[in-house]
Amino acid sequence: MNPHDQSTRILIGNTPDDNYCGLSPNQVHYLYYDTFDENSSLQFNTAIDNSVLDQIPFFRLAEALLHIIKREQKLKLTASGALTKKVLDELYSHKFIPEYYIDYFIEKGISKQIRDDKCISLRCSSDVVQNSGLVEKVSGKLLLTELGTRLSEPKNRLELFYCIFLTFTQRINWSDNDHYTEDAVGQLGWAYSLYLLIKFGDEERTIDFYGEKYLIAFPDFINCFPTDDHHTSKELYLHCYGVRTLDRFFEWFGFVTINQKKKFMERHFETFTSSELLSKIFVFD
């Protein structure tokens, strides 16, 4: 290889790119494909303690489910493989993540039971736990594995958080939680969205601000949304990105503070900033 060509590649690889909001191609590569490698700019904070973990809604929800499985020893699922009403009721009682369906229909008396297919966060917590290696399914029942038994001990709580977070971002499909495209919009490059929040989150912004910048990095995703009678491709893309990234990633993990809460179809007017929790969990060099 020509030494000059090699040095040029190295220079290009380490040169900040405006299309990635100042990240170099090498930094982007690690964020996409090896997020927490020692050479990656994004790392978990080394000072995450129980007071921080207590503030992470989705982690608390998954942890609560594991505690139920540990308590019951063998947690029976429904014939369709879902959590039973009794378990859903217990998980919901903690109110870790507000759910429109439950808060409105159940508490208003319109419906009398929590449904697995309507309570997205509860169903997703089950999906994450079952894909984490923490449990195994035997004859329609969930049992803790050796890993699950070890990580359910209080002294290993931080390691449990790592396991839950990595499973959520890397081992399940976010598209299973909505009716948009099955393509990995929002999930592919989730760490890039996290970088954007770290970089721009001090100022009050809308999800469209982040969605526009994400689309510059992943321009082909616009092709996943054919225009319909009511919305343009861009509008559908932004709705999808907003649901997956803001509602069911940033909010579920407590990374943002919503300043102006809006109705579903008005989400592009909703403003938020990064929460204090974000810098307590991650560092970006």
Q: What is the pLDDT of residue 16?
A: 85
Q: What is the pLDDT of residue 228?
A: 83
Nearest to 159 by CA among 142, 193, 134: 134
Q: What is the pLDDT of residue 229?
A: 78
What secondary structure letter does DSSP report for 243?
I
What secondary structure letter does DSSP report for 105?
I
Q: What is the pLDDT of residue 267?
A: 58
Q: What is the pLDDT of residue 236?
A: 95
Using CA atoms, how far apart are residues 66 and 156, in angstroms rounded to an integer? 13
For the residues of the chain, what is the DSSP string, one character each? Answer: --HHHHHHHHHHHTS-BGGGTTB-HHHHHHHHH-TTSTTSSEEE-TT--HHHHTT-HHHHHHHHHHHHHHHHSSEE--TTSPPPHHHHHHHHHT-SS--HIIIIIITTTS-SS--TTT-HHHHHHHHHHHTTTSEEEETTEEEE-HHHHHHTSGGGHHHHHHHHHHHHHHTS-GGGGSSS-SS-TTTTTHHHHHHHHHHHTTS-EEHHHHHHHHHHHSGGGGGGS---SS--HHHHHHHHHIIIIIIIIITTTT-EEEEE---GGGGGG-EEEE-HHHHHHEEE-
* Full-model pTM: 0.90
Nearest to 249 by CA among 151, 172, 157, 148: 172
What secondary structure letter does DSSP report for 262?
-
pLDDT in tens, the chain (285 residues): 444 444 444 334 678 889 899 999 999 999 999 999 999 999 999 899 999 999 999 999 999 999 999 999 999 999 999 999 999 999 988 999 987 666 666 666 555 566 665 689 999 999 999 999 999 999 999 999 999 999 999 999 999 999 999 999 999 999 999 999 999 999 999 999 999 999 999 999 999 999 999 999 999 999 999 988 788 999 999 999 999 999 999 999 999 999 866 555 555 578 999 999 999 999 998
Q: What is the pLDDT of residue 230?
A: 84
